[in-house]
Amino acid sequence: MRLRNVKNADVILKSSSYFVEDPMNYKGIIKKLFKNENPIHLEIGTGKGNFLIGMAKKYPDINFIGVEKYDSVLVRAIQKCDEEKLDNIKFMCFDAKKINEVFYKDIETLYLNFSDPWPKNRHHERRLTSQTFLKLYDSIFKSDCHIIQKTDNIVLFASSLEDLSKYGYILEKVSMDLHSTEIFNVETEYEKKFSQLGYKINYLEAKKSK
């Protein structure tokens, strides 16, 4: 969801150590952003940052990168990080369609949390688990491809299960009610809101060997 009219959003981002300006300059050398050899996990559509910040606090030996299309949303995530003082998290602002222009054999796990479901059939290829995007992801993974998805939208979830399977992914974990399982979970702001309203959260974890 886009937050509109955040005054000086661009200035706020560029003045923060958590924001990576011109991320395409780091293609293939993303680890230099963190100055260590720890694994890197990526979230596309990071929103206000609740999930990624929670993960970064839980796993200090993993580096996390959040990608968001709108700078006005990233401002909120950046402000939260300033309060937490984390050294294993960075944020970037660009369209997911350019994902393989920024990353190359850098990522170990990709999180797709509550992505736009694009429910109409004619928009199928815009879904982040469509064959179009799965092909882009192939080059960003360091070794085996590893995707974790959460969504409240059953149409997107069913589509993801089908597309991932057709593309050669093995579905290792699947749940249509994540919160009733023992799977470790950090809630997104969207997830918390809608689960409180009684919505079930769909979850999958899928892997594919290169």
* Residue 1 scores a pLDDT above 50: no
**Residue 197: partners with Cβ closer than 8 Å, 6 or more residues away:** none
**Distance in angstroms (rounded) separating the CA atoms of residues 50 and 63:** 15
Residue 61 a catalytic site member: no
Longest pairwise C-alpha distance within the chain: 45
pLDDT in tens, 118-142: 999 999 999 999 999 999 999 999 9
pLDDT tens track for 37-75: 999 999 999 998 999 999 999 999 999 999 999 888 899
CB 128 within 8 A of CB 96: yes
- 52 in Cβ contact with 45 (< 8 Å): no
Please identify which of the residues 116, 138, 163, 177 carries the catalytic annotation.
Answer: 116
- Write the secondary structure of 112-167 as one string of H (helix), E (strand) and C (coil): EECCCCCCCHHHHHHCCCCHHHHHHHCCCECCCEEEEEEECCHHHHHHHHHHHHHC
Q: Do 87 and 61 contact (CB within 8 A), yes or no?
A: no
Confidence of residue 168 (pLDDT cuts 50, 70, 90): very high
| Gap between the Cα atoms of 41 and 39, Å rounded | 7
Confidence of residue 83 (pLDDT cuts 50, 70, 90): confident
